[in-house]
A and B are shown apart, each in its own frame.
Chain A
C-alpha cells in the first residue's frame, strides 16, 4: 500500500509535555500538508512543504509548533509545552505539483493522529 501513513494514531499526554507526530506521504508526491481538525469543523490548514522547503505557515501555528521535512520525504510535526486546547485530530495530506490542474488540487489524506492533552 502506498497511501499516506501517520504515526502514532493516538496520543495521550499531560499538559506541558512535548509530542511529535510523523507523516509519510505518497512516495511520488512532492507536496505535504498538515491540518488540524476539531469537532464540528473541517480540516484547518497549519503548514505545507514543497519538497523540503516549508512554504507557508498558518497564523494558527504558534511558536510552540514546528514542522520539518528533511530530505523532502517524511515530515514531523512537534508541539512543545502542550496545552489542553491542542487536543484535536492532526491530519497529514500529500499531493503532486508536477502536473497542473486537478491533480495538483487533489490532496490525499492519512488516517490522522488524535491528540488528547490532559
Chain B
C-alpha cells in the first residue's frame, strides 16, 4: 500500500525556470509533509516541510503547497539552478505512529 506517491520518476527543466514536483497521498491522518533532496551516494537531506493545517510554506527559492481536499502537495523551485539536480523525495509524518513514509522520488535535472 503506497501511501505517498510521486508519479513522475523524472523531470527536466531549463536553468532559471520553475521546477514543480508533485506528490499525492492517501492517508488523511498525516500531520506534516516534508521534502528531501538526495544526491548520489549520499543520504537524503531535509529541504522544507509543511504542517497539515497550512496550505503554503516558503523558504527562499523553495515553496511547498498543500491541497488537503485533493490530498496533493507540490514543491516549487524558482529559479531552478543546476545544483538543484538531484532526486527529490516527498515524505509524510504521522505523529501517532511517529514514522515518516516516503514516496519513490522524482529525479530533477536542471539544464544549464
Show the binding face of A for B, using Cβ within 8 Å: 4, 6, 31, 33, 35, 40-45, 48, 50, 55-56, 91, 93, 97, 100-102, 104-112, 114
- Min CB–CB distance B90 → chain A (angstroms): 8
**Chain B 28-44 per-residue mask, 1 if CB under 8 angstroms from chain A, else 0:** 00011010100001111
CA distance A35 to B104 in the complex (A): 13
A-B complex: 5 closest residue pairs judged by Cβ atoms: A42-B102, A109-B43, A105-B93, A105-B32, A109-B44
- A105 contacts B100, C-beta separation under 8 Å: yes
Please measure, in the bound complex, the distance between the C-alpha atom of A35 and the C-alpha atom of B49, giving whole angstroms: 20
Instruction: How many A-B residue pairs have C-beta atoms within 8 angstroms? Tell me.
Output: 70
Size of interface on B: residues with Cβ below 8 Å to A? 27
Residues of A within 8 Å of B103, CB to CB, are 42
CB neighbours (8 Å) of B46 from chain A are 106-108
State A93–B44 Cα separation when bound (angstroms). 9
Query: Taking the nearest CB of chain B, how far is it from the CB of A44, in angstroms?
Result: 8
**In the complex, are the beta carbons of B9 and A105 less than 8 A apart?**
no
Are B95 and A104 interface neighbours, CB within 8 A?
yes
